[in-house]
Structures are given as structure tokens and as C-alpha cells.
Amino acid sequence: MALITFSSPEYKDKTVYAVAGSHTETILKIAKTNRIPISFDCEDGQCGNCVIRVTPLGDKPKMGCHLTDKEQTVLKEIGKLSKSEIDRMIVDDLPSEWRLACQMIVRDEDVLVEY
């Protein structure tokens, strides 16, 4: 089970449990279930409105979680990642700090989600 701490300058931080490894529990779905007001429009990885910054917490090694093709395209378009940064993350198996909440699936790792 993973702990997700949602943090925003406009709201009090909130930590929730998430079932790790589920292929349907995106960060956005968990946020909506727990009434955490992450902005979104399309819920399909096309608009970039639900961009979040994800930081691993705790002593576990960082888990690489590759960006979806949609995320790569949108994060490049909105200026959060460059092509060279994406290529480096793939080669070095590093996670991206920038994700789309509607695309990121929860892993067995405690994370801080800034929105």
C-alpha cells in the first residue's frame, strides 16, 4: 500500500492510502475520490491541465515509472520536459518529477504530489 500526500499552497496537505499496483487507480482518480481539488479538463492526457510534480518519499529507492506517450507529448508541449530529458529518463530508467495526474498509476511507493 502506498501513501500519497497531496500538497497545494491553497489547501491543507492531505495524506491518503492508495492500493499499489492497481491498473485503474490514477492519481487523479484517487484525488477525486478523496475530494482533493486537482485541476483537470479532459481526463484523457490530452490537455495538460492536471500536471503535477511527484516526489518520492521515504527510504525506498526511486521506482522508475515511464511516461505514457500522451504524457511525453503534452509535457513537451507545455514546457515541463524537453526531448533530451525524456530520452535521458528512458535510458537511465529514472522517473519524471512532472506527470499528468490522469495518466500516472500509483506504485508501491510513498509520494508527495504537488498540484
How far apart, in whole angstroms, are the C-alpha atoms of residue 11 and residue 15? 12
Q: Which residue has the higher pLDDT, 107 or 101?
A: 101
Bridge partners (DSSP) of residue 100 are: 51
| Band of residue 93 on the pLDDT scale cut at 50, 70, 90 | confident
Q: Dihedral, CA atoms, 15, 16, 19, 24, nearest 10 degrees?
A: -100
Q: Please give the grid coordinates belonging to residue 80.
A: 515541463
**Chain mean pLDDT for the chain:** 90
Q: What is the pLDDT of residue 8?
A: 97
How far apart, in whole angstroms, are the C-alpha atoms of residue 81 and residue 3? 26
Annotate 15-70 with three-state secondary structure.
Answer: EEEECCCCCCCEHHHHHHHCCCCCCCCCCCCCCCCCEEEEEECCCCCCCCCCCCHH
How far apart, in whole angstroms, are the C-alpha atoms of residue 83 and residue 87? 6
- Say yes or no to pLDDT of 109 above 90: no
